[in-house]
Chains A and B, each alone.
Chain A
């Protein structure tokens, strides 16, 4: 369960079901920024 502050109150955020194609794409495609970060952090882990 996730939480958000909505209108000054703590509320629970609803889980999402049945992702549409645009939403699935965000989860499938690793951006260049993410790839660079992954590369840098994996290098940091082995150093």
Chain B
């Protein structure tokens, strides 16, 4: 299960990551998320396997999609050495973190009215992964098709 980081533990957490192999833009993005998390504008949730952090996901509440409230996955990161590997009964580390985010959203639904999880893949290569998980493109919602919002609806027929 993913674990939220307090602002006081951000520095220690990020020292366990080496982002030098990532692009300058991605490093800038991670730096920004770390900075905004220190001001409680987003929460970084960490994923662990055998007490080793394998990745993190940055979450916040958004109304960027037509003022409809939802949980926003700002960014999901998995260390390169953990990408595409199997983890117990989950097919991928990224999918395992997405499962945890969706379950977190279920808990949020008990106290606030949110029925959607939104995201924009930080680069287009990741869109197919989110489609495979179950997210859907919101066509024409981005500046270009590569930047369309994606959504995972939380209401099933039995909830309606």
Do B32 and A13 have beta carbons less than 8 Å apart?
A: no
Closest to B160 in A: A30
Which secondary structure characterizes the binding site on chain B? mixed
- B134 close to A (CB within 8 Å): yes
Which residues of chain A have C-beta atoms less than 8 A from B152's C-beta? 34, 37
Pick the residue among A2, A27, A41 that contacts B103 (CB under 8 A). Answer: A41
Which residues of chain B have C-beta atoms less than 8 A from A10's C-beta? 25, 28-29, 32
Which residues of chain B have C-beta atoms less than 8 A from A44's C-beta? 99, 103
Which secondary structure characterizes the binding site on chain A? mixed
Complex Cα distance, B23 from A5, in Å, reads: 10
Which residues of chain B have C-beta atoms less than 8 A from A22's C-beta? 139-140
- With contact pairs A9-B25, A13-B143 given, residues A30 and B157 touching in the complex (Cβ less than 8 Å): yes
Pick the residue among A2, A19, A30, A37 that contacts B66 (CB under 8 A). Answer: A19
Which residues of chain A have C-beta atoms less than 8 A from B149's C-beta? 2, 13, 16
Chain B window 122-155, contacts with chain A (Cβ cutoff 8 Å), 1 for yes, 0 for no: 1100000000011011111111001101011111
Closest A-B pairs by Cβ, 7 of them: A15-B64, A30-B153, A33-B134, A5-B25, A16-B141, A19-B66, A38-B156
A residues lining the B interface (CB < 8 Å): 1-6, 8-10, 13-20, 22-23, 26-31, 33-35, 37-39, 41-42, 44-45
B residues lining the A interface (CB < 8 Å): 23-26, 28-29, 32, 62-68, 72, 74-75, 99, 102-103, 106, 116, 118-120, 122-123, 133-134, 136-143, 146-147, 149, 151-157
